[in-house]
Structure formats: C-alpha cells, structure tokens
Amino acid sequence: MKKRTFLLLIGASPVLSLNLGSCTGGQGKPVALTISCSYAYQEVIKEIDQIYRQANPQVTTTYNIANAGVIQRQIQMGFPVDVLITSYPEQMDKLQAAGLIFADTRTNITRNFLVLIVPKNSTRISGFRDLATDKVKSVILGDEKLGAGIYAKETLTFFQIYDQVKPKAIFAHEGSGQIIEYMEQKKADAGVTFLTEVKYSDKVKVVAVAPENSYQPILGMVAVTKNSTNYSTAKGYINFLKSAPAKSVFQKYGFTPVD
C-alpha cells in the first residue's frame, strides 16, 4: 500500500489532500471514495480510515481537509466529493437547501465543546471574562471563516465581550490546530478552540469550558453529496462512522459520539 500527502491551493486557502490508498486481496469491485472534512477531524479520520479499509479493502480513500468555506465552494463547483464531514451546521444547511447533498443521508456523528486555553504554566487567567481585562494582552481565535472562530465569536458575544476582545485577537487562518501551535509558541496569553485539539499538546491547558448555551452545539455531521458517483459505498462509509469501532476512535480523540 502506498501513501501520498500533498498540498493543493484554492485561492488563499490551503487544502490538504491525503490519498490513503487501499489494501489488496479483498473482495468486490474496486471503488474510489473522496471524503471532504473539516480540520477538526484531520487526525481522528486517519485512524478510522485504517479500520475502515481493513473491513473494505476494495475501497480507495482520498481525504480533502480544508476549512468549511473551501469545502462548500468545492461542492458547489462540482468537485467529485462523495462524502462531506463537517462541524459547521450552516454549511450543511446551505448545501442541502441548494440540493447538493442527499438529505436522507445527513446524520450527526459527534459532539465537541469549546474551551479557553492558556500556556501550561499560566496562572492569571481563569475564565472567559478575563479576556476583556488587563490580564490578557493578546488572544488567539480562529478566523471567522473557520468553525473554531465562528463558535468563539458566539461565546464571546454571549459574554458581551467580543468587541473588547477583538482588538487583542491574533487570528488563525489554517485550522483549529494552528491555535494550539500559536499557544505552544506563546504568541498570546490565551486562546479559544475545540476541546479535542487540546489532546494534541502537553504545553497548554484548559482553564474554562464555555457554557453549552453560549454557542450553537458543535455537532459533527456527515452526508453523501450529489456529486458522488459511488452512492452505495458512500452511504456504507457513513454507516461505518456510526459503528462501535469508529465511535471508540472518536472517543479516543476527545469527541462525544452521537447516536
């Protein structure tokens, strides 16, 4: 089995395409699936893919990993995407309204949570309201085109501090993982990101979890797109994401599976 990784650029937005190949010796006609997913799933989906391909060796999988806006434009432009995985409901709603996904295949698979993080040795910040005080000179937020940025804005607006915090913001444009990178490099006093991202670093810590009523639920959802030429296999892939083996991996990476 060969594994290739390469970077594509659409405008100024990076898209990571992972061709994870397929195993040989399986039964059934060879099938190629293209799955587009948001950055939040970049690591967990690699591990799930290994289990999926063991059970489906006839399937070759390619993953396009990008922010929600890029993925939406790809599908609208007719890119050959079979399955969409996103944590941004509005994106899925727009694609469904435009008739670009099979609505009966749309389903929730995970839930995530929003947290306030600081460098591991930091002690002066304990809650979201601190972001609007002199305790914080700079804070890392996701770009407002990213899911992490959208949810962060909702929470800061809930606390009525967004206008005070925005001038202090350093915006990450390349995904929620970049927020962790910036925090590890101590480029800011604090950051707001997904709970799952914190599992990838031993240099940051969570000091507060955003109230669940301060932002719309961070639900990971999946659907087969109308651009798919492999509907049956794509639907089978979605069913696999709801299986016990996949749920176990989601939990390992900090996601809460949704039945």
Global confidence as pTM: 0.79
* Least confident interval from 115-124, 138-147, 188-197: 138-147
Return the pLDDT at 147. 82
Q: How far, in Å, CA of 162 to CA of 131, rounded?
A: 9
Give the tens place of pLDDT for each residue, 79-128: 999 999 998 888 899 999 999 999 999 999 999 999 999 999 999 999 99
Q: Domain 114-209 in CATH: superfamily? A: Periplasmic binding protein-like II (3.40.190.10)
| 114-209 shares the fold of 4-111+218-257 | yes
Give the CATH number of domain 4-111+218-257.
3.40.190.10
Residue 19 has pLDDT above 60, yes or no: no
Domain boundaries, the chain: 4-111+218-257, 114-209
Give the tens place of pLDDT for each residue, 196-224: 999 889 999 999 999 999 999 999 999 99
